[in-house]
Amino acid sequence: MEGIQEWSERLHDGVLLDLSVGWESGTIEFVVERSAGITTLSIQGFKSLYVPRMEPWGPNVCVNEIRLLRHEPSGARRLEVEMQSGDVAVIEGAEAIVLSPGT
């Protein structure tokens, strides 16, 4: 099973096509287009989401880095998705993180 570092490397320079929140299911999906196809990063069981779009480094739609900053004893996680615009989406309380490569 791949870790967050491998996911970050695979999604680096990928174009963020869509970010969706399934409120009832507690799921967030980042849909990223890479040269190998569409990849979906799904975060299940989130408790909070912060998604700024201030573009401090200038406009850009590509993923720069994914970081897993905290793994709590309860299994909850803090995940950051940094964009090449300098914005950082922060997801708190993720119970499961799944990377699904597309075709």
Q: Amino acid letter at 68? A: L
Q: Could you tell me the residue ranges of all domains in the chain?
A: 4-101
Q: Where are the alpha helices (DSSP H) in 1-102?
A: 4-11
Strand-pairing partners, residue 67, are 80
pLDDT digits (tens, 9 = 90+) for 9-55: 889 999 999 999 999 999 999 999 998 889 888 888 899 999 999 99
- CA of 14: how far to CAs of 8, 37, 42, 44, 68, in Å? 10, 10, 15, 21, 18
Residues 6+ positions from 37 with CB-CB distance below 8 Å: 101, 102, 103
Q: Are the C-beta atoms of 81 and 63 separated by less than 8 Å?
A: yes
> Does position 71 have pLDDT exceeding 70, yes or no?
no
